[in-house]
Amino acid sequence: MLEAKGLRPSYQRLKILEYLAGSKAHPNVDMIYEDLAKKIPTISKTTIYNTLAALVEKGLARAVTISGQEVRYDFDVSEHSHFLCKKCGRVTDVYGIKLPNTKEKAEGRVIEEVHLYLKGICRECLNKLKGVQNGKR
């Protein structure tokens, strides 16, 4: 996959790509570093930043800036939206929401990307809130 996009498949790049492919958590650099440093003590945050930038540039990953405070990364580059839970901070994928045809509204511009970010409270946090409201803990 890396070679097909013109990237040298170093050990660290492979491990970062594997980590991203196996994660549904939309990790940020710190999350990736924490987990990979246990297995690869020589890995640096700079290597992770540079690798993620290369993966995004080559279309192998997507940068998600839903909170405005951090960048999360998603291995799934298919057309989909993201939901941020304001309570627990988890970012999840949302499929099936179709955006209107933005090309018709481009007015001579070239649209290269469209992002739809949703924010609210996830099911798990809502269930916890309902439990507390009903006297359960």
pLDDT digits (tens, 9 = 90+) for 61-71: 999 998 888 99
- List the CATH code of the domain at 1-76: 1.10.10.10
Q: In Å, how far from its chain's centre is CA 58? A: 15
For strands 62-64 and 72-74, give the pairing.
Answer: antiparallel
* Single-letter code of the amino acid located at 35: D
pTM of the model: 0.83
- pLDDT, residue 87, reads 94
Fold topology of 78-137: Dna Ligase; domain 1 (3.30.1490)
Over the stretch 86-98, which tens digit does the pLDDT of each residue have? 999 999 999 988 7
Q: Does 28 have pLDDT greater than 80?
A: yes
Residue 91 φ then ψ, to 5°: -110, 125
The Cα–Cα gap between 1 and 99 comes to: 29
- pLDDT, residue 54, reads 97
Please give the radius of gyration of the chain, using alpha carbons only, rounded to the nearest integer: 18
CA dihedral 123, 128, 130, 135 (to 10 degrees): 170
Domain ranges of the chain: 1-76, 78-137
Give residue 54's region: left, alpha or beta (phi > 0; psi -120 to 50).
alpha
